[in-house]
Structure 1
Amino acid sequence: MTKAQRYAGRRATRIALAATVALSLALPGCDSGDGKKRGSSNAYYEIFVRSFADSDGDGIGDLNGVTSKLDYLEELGVDGLWLMPIQPSPSYHGYDVTDYYGIDPDYGTLDDYKKLLKEAHKRGISVLMDLVVNHSSVEHPWFVDAAMGQDAEHRDWYTWASAKEGGASPSDGATGSNPWHDMGGDNYLGIFWEGMPDLNFDNPDVRKEMIAVGQYWLKLGVDGFRLDAAKHIYGDFGSTINSPAIKRKNQAWWQEFREGLNAVKPDAYLVGEVWESPAVIGPYLDHALDSAFNFDLAKQLLGSADTEVAQDIGFTLSRVHEFFSKSSEGAFMDAPFLANHDQPRAMTALNGNENHARMAAAMLLTLPGRPFIYYGEELGMTGAKPDERIREPFPWKIEPGSPEETTWEPSTNRGDGSVSVEAEDESPRSLLNLYRELLSWRAAEPALRGGTIASYVTGNSAIVSYARAAEDEQLLVVHNLSGLSQTVSIQATKAQPLVYSKLALSTEEGAELSGTTLKLPAYATVVLKP
């Protein structure tokens, strides 16, 4: 059997599964409980377009390259994409925008983007756009005009302080550096970098314009936004960023933004970068954001996988979710992840240990909410700061030089090619195929992708376990984090009254449930049913 035939066979199996579960939706109680149909994993995939796939041979990834790889993403099992910034920018990363209504010419045209949206939607894949509203580029026409002087039309679209004021303006930047930058005798506010001047959201024209930007892209077919630096809209200074007044202003802005988007697309999905504790995140979920990335959980998942020591994730998440549910009137959706474009890659954080990477993936993809996978995580790509090293070209082939691979940046972490789609595609034990398997579990089991999570204690420090439930379905997920086989007792107690009698899913051969005794091979994950 050729590789093409094997690929076609796997895809046919996925299509058959989707058809089967679609039929089941006609029966009572078959909805996932989270608004998603059976057959969907509820997982999203973060793409740095510049690094993902090149369609025209210039060495730079582009939108048509992403479109050409939608079959790969469909087979992987994700339901959505988050595209890092694709608007015009003088920087390689795109987080300083010069035109909020345009497409970076390195990436293609607006028609290319429309084609990507159309082809993604054909496959049931949603597309999120990275939207940077805290600041523009210093080269944006608004700022170029604002810098002309006090009487400029867009002067008040940014925040200025005269150099003559000396210490009158706070100088404790919320990110740790001096937020003020000189411009012809006046200082403008830019908390991230002098090339990223902060927009002034006290100006109603700025708020109106940003809502218009969001509406524009939704009308074109975008399904929602990843909102960069969401807590920094008014969070300019370390001394005030967590004050009640600033928190209220940030919350009010995102509620205003949500209301504006509702006029165009009420079901637009909004996930915010709020790098904070649950107590800070909570208010952002009140009629504003649907989700905020769970940074605390990412640290917990990687820490447990790395040390092989269990933490009670079920207890922690159940408490956090209860708080978020109250904050949002039950409307929130968690956004767990392992790493993103600003952090060391998961495999690097785990010191290159593939078994630990497998366990981190298994925990991530058996949790409720909408998990996000950073491109290449499913292959075990490595990388640490500086940022370019964690945003390197995606390795499609074992050997470099394939026309579809990008070359804008050297692939310093490429290694011998064993971490590539070509090498891992046909290897049953590869990390790539583990991700495919786990995502197929989510597609088949509503209680894995939605519903609730609760603590389940086994008393074994190498075992992470938690109960999952959605509608009338209940599951028990058990992970052996260690390199030794483990035996645990799975029996009903007053605190955990349900009896689990069926071993439904397992990542490893040799797992066995006999009565109340569960035997787990090293680095295995199982799902039990009553």
Structure 2
Amino acid sequence: MSKFRAVIRSIAIAAALSLLSVPSFARENPVAAKPAQQASGVYYEIFVRAFYDTNGDGIGDLNGVTAKLDYIKSLGVSGIWLMPINPSPSYHGYDITDYEGINPQYGTLQDFKKLVAEAHKRGIKVVIDMVINHTSDQHPWFKAALDPKDPHHDWYLWAKPGTDLQAVSAVGGPAWHRASNGAYYEGTFVSAMPDLNYDNPAVRKEMIDVGRFWLKQGVDGFRLDAAQHIYDDLRTDMGDPIALQKNVRWWSEYRHALEATNPRVWLVGEVARQNPDDLTPYMGPLNTVFNFPVAAQLIESVNQERNLGIGRGLEYTYAAYRAHARGDFDDAPFLSNHDQQRVMSQLDDNMAHMRLAAALLLTLPGHPFIYYGEELGMQGSKPDENIRGPMRWYHNGKGPGTASWKDWSTNDDAAISVEVQQADPDSLLNLYRKLIGWRQQVSALRDGVLHDVPVADPHVLAYTLQDAQSRVLVAHNLSREARVVELGADAHVTMVLLQSQGGAVLADGKLTLPPYTTVILQ
């Protein structure tokens, strides 16, 4: 491994030097905007219940998402991810009772088709949550499965003589739960979510049919909930190569089957592991997985105002991805999602740190994900309901369309709203728009190969990104003080393309970065 990293380091230095030798100008040279259809690659996660309410019942709905597509388009994102929209007995929807239905609180299938059509008109792709590791215990399949003679009985996992009923699940709770018929069934998460038996061909066929159904409704892909837990059910399964192999084999079957319906279907998996090596095996079967390791590292680096090896880690991870996926791979970085404390709360309501975190995320290649309200700096801490609160559209917190399914759980002030930040050119919202716009202008920010550029200053992160169209160096000052970066004694001065705020100075091979500033150089 040390030899591999040494090679990677040498490549990084060579790339940096070749970049810095490009003739340059002593002034900032903004990049000319490319056509509007250039994709940013950014996705926006939406909890429909909390987003926008069009019928006055206090619950956000699909028509509300449609009504706000122009706002979503104004962010510059390429797609949206809708958290579960199927019928469910719970507010969050992660225990489904009908895989081909729409939660009636959210609207109808016709409303969904309209949303997809209107999104596509705006060049916005639609990805929906696919929750197929488990069903609801209220699903007709599970109710039928309580009868051992019913064919659905073998659709679930039941305890056998000798089963350890005290076993701990892969997520830390009890793995086995007692049904009304006295038998015990497996549920990795909670008793209301019985696990499906993917060794049963009927289950695999049914779930492939479900995916095909939604592709025929126009969706562009799926966020695969609990992708690692199809066979990774018990604490003892974690790290088990057999469980991993079976997971990978299933997702390969799933992807190939869906590609027969839509060759461009896009699959992003939730594999909630902190070791990058645990993500790599999924890069062949799926298009990408959420990068949980880098999410934690970005937040910690911002809090500490230090480079904690982000560039080195990503270079190693991407090299492993590339090798495993035979050259065709993607990444899905993010800062937080619906299961985690919101970014602004993790950063203790520090707006300078929030702006820096946004710049770090949105200058990474792949498909970064933004959680709704993140672009405003909304706060939210556990329990889960409080990180899934109503979207803040208005300065006073209330107004037409505001979801009221739950009360406010934070003390966000009036500035944490679309209404206020729209009008402020220096707002966090408009910074997100600027950063996402960079990705539309400079293709390497989306598609480039990343090489870490070693910098002696621990408060500076730098890396190069290069694709067939462009090559840039990205530099971040992670600290509250200006930093001067030596670009190399033999390097020519380079050209400043973009900066997150004014004040960056480039002269004599040295780059002066104001506090918390991100600069794109060519």
Q: How many residues align?
A: 489
Aligned residue in 2 for 1:154? 152
What does the per-residue CA deviation read over 1:402-432, in whole Å, with 9 as the maximum and x for residues that have no partner?
A: 1211000111225322100011111122111
Per the alignment, in what secondary structure is the counterpart of residue 337 of structure 1?
coil
Give me the whole-angstrom Cα distance separating, in 1, the residues matched to 2:411 and 2:93. Answer: 24
Cα separation, 1, equivalents of 2:170 and 2:198: 17
Aligned residue type for 1:258: R
- Supply the distance in 1 between the matched residues of 2:386 and 2:165 (Cα, whole angstroms): 37
How big is the shift at 1:457? 2.0
Contact preservation (8 Å) 1:234, 1:241: no
Q: Deviations over 1:256-297 (max 9, x none)?
A: 1011101101110000000122222222122x2101000000
Pairwise CA distance, 1:471: 1.1
Which residue of the partner structure matches residue 255 of structure 2? 258
Unpaired runs of 5+ in structure 2?
1-31
Q: Indicate how the Cα distance of structure 1 residues 499 and 290 shifts in structure 2: closer, same or farther if over 3 A, else same.
A: farther
Structure 2 partner of 1:13: none
* Aligned counterpart in structure 1 of residue 173 of structure 2, from 151, 161, 177: 177
Deviation at 1:459, TM superposition (A): 1.1
Deviation at 1:168, TM superposition (A): 4.8
Question: Contact (CA 8 Å) 1:452, 1:470: kept in 2 or not?
Answer: yes
Q: Look up the equivalent residue of 1:426 and give its one-letter code.
A: A
1:379 aligns with 2:376: yes
CA contact (8 A) 2:166 2:174 kept: no
Separation in structure 1 between the aligned mates of residue 299 and residue 458 of structure 2, nearest angstrom = 16
Deviations 1:488-520 (A, max 9, x none): 112366xxxx75511111111111111211111
One-letter amino acid of the counterpart of residue 151, structure 2? E
Q: What amino acid does structure 2 have at the position aligned with 1:223?
A: D
Out of 330, 333, 354, the residue aligned to residue 333 of structure 1 is 330
> Which stretch of structure 1 is more off in the superposition, 371-380 or 325-334?
325-334
Deviations 1:162-204 (A, max 9, x none): 5xx3555671211111111112221011110010000010100
Q: Specify the SS of the correspondent of 1:318.
A: helix
1:131–1:101 Cα change, 3 Å: same
Q: For residues 492 and 189 of structure 1, do their structure 2 counterparts lie closer, same or farther at Cα, with a shift above 3 Å needed?
A: farther
1:490–1:136 CA distance, 2 compared to 1 (3 A): same
CA distance in 2, matches of 1:500, 1:68: 48
Question: Which residue identity does 2:287 align to in structure 1?
Answer: D
Higher relative contact order (CA 8 A, sep 6+): 2
1:102 maps to which residue?
101
Counterparts of 1:436 and 1:499, CA distance in 2: 32
Query: Which amino acid in structure 1 is aligned with residue 153 of structure 2?
Result: R
3-state SS in 2 of match to 1:65: helix
Q: Which amino acid aligns with 1:302?
A: I
* 1:213-262 alpha-carbon deviations (Å, 9 max, x no partner): 00000011000000000000011111123211111110110011011101
Take 1:508 and 1:481, find their aligned partners in 2: how far apart are those partners?
14
CA distance in 2, matches of 1:210, 1:357: 39
CA distance, structure 2, for counterparts of residue 256 and residue 169 of structure 1: 31
1:278 matched to which residue of 2? 276
Alignment of 1:176-325 (within 5 A): 176-183=172-179, 184-276=181-273, 277-286=275-284, 288-325=285-322
SS in 2 for 1:72: helix
- Written as runs of structure 1 = structure 2, the 5 A alignment for 1:29-48 is 39-48=38-47
Q: Give the aligned partner of residue 392 of structure 2.
A: 395
Which AA in structure 2 matches 1:389?
A: N
- Partner of residue 29, structure 2: none
CA drift of 1:401 comes to 2.6
1:51 equivalent to 2:57? Answer: no
Contact persistence 2:493–2:507 (CA under 8 A): no
1:349 aligns with 2:346: yes
Matched, 1:406 2:403: yes
Q: Matches of 1:492 and 1:468 in 2, distance apart?
A: 22
Say whether 1:21 aligns with 2:20. no
The answer to whether the 8 A contact 1:501-1:515 is kept is: no
| Residue in structure 2 matched with residue 35 of structure 1 by the alignment | none
Q: After the TM superposition, list the runs of 4 or more consecutive aligned residues in structure 1 that deviate by more than 4 angstroms.
A: 166-170
2:484 alignment partner, SS class: strand
Given residue 169 of structure 2, which amino acid in structure 1 is its aligned partner? G
| Amino acid paired to 1:179 | A
Between 1:387-396 and 1:448-457, the stretch displaced more is: 448-457
Per the alignment, residue 480 of structure 1 pairs with: 477
For 1:38-117, what aligned pairs fall within 5 Å after superposition? 39-117=38-116
SS in 1 for 2:352: helix
Cα 1:39–1:472 change in 2 (3 A) is closer
Q: Which amino acid aligns with 2:106?
A: Y
Per the alignment, residue 12 of structure 1 pairs with none
Deviates more, 1:339-348 or 1:326-335: 326-335
User: Is the deviation greater in 330-339 or in 412-421?
Assistant: 412-421
1:503 aligns with 2:502: no
**Deviation larger for 359-368 or 461-470:** 461-470
Q: Distance in 2 between matches of 1:259 and 1:295?
A: 26
1:524 paired to 2:521:
no
**What SS does structure 2 have at the residue aligned with 1:231?**
helix
**Which amino acid in 2 is paired with 1:522?**
P
User: Which residue number corresponds to residue 506 of structure 2?
Assistant: 513
Q: Secondary structure at the match of 1:128?
A: strand
Residues 121-160 of structure 1 aligned to structure 2 (within 5 Å): 121-147=120-146, 149-160=147-158
The answer to whether the Cα contact below 8 Å between 2:116 and 2:218 also exists between their aligned partners in 1 is yes
**SS across alignment from 1:138:** coil
Letter in 2 for 1:255: S
The two structures have a TM-score, normalised by structure 1, of: 0.90
Contact persistence 1:291–1:333 (CA under 8 A):
yes
Contact 1:395 1:414 in 2 (8 A): no
Q: Secondary structure at the match of 1:378?
A: helix
- Provide TM-score, normalisation by structure 2: 0.91
The CA distance in 2 between the partners of 1:285 and 1:523, in whole Å, is: 33
Show structure 1 runs of 5+ residues with no match: 1-16, 23-37
**Residue 88 of structure 1 aligns to a residue in which SS?**
coil
Q: Select which of 422, 436, 457 maps to 1:439.
A: 436
RMSD, matched Cα: 1.5
Alpha-carbon distance in structure 2 between the residues aligned to 1:278 and 1:309: 21
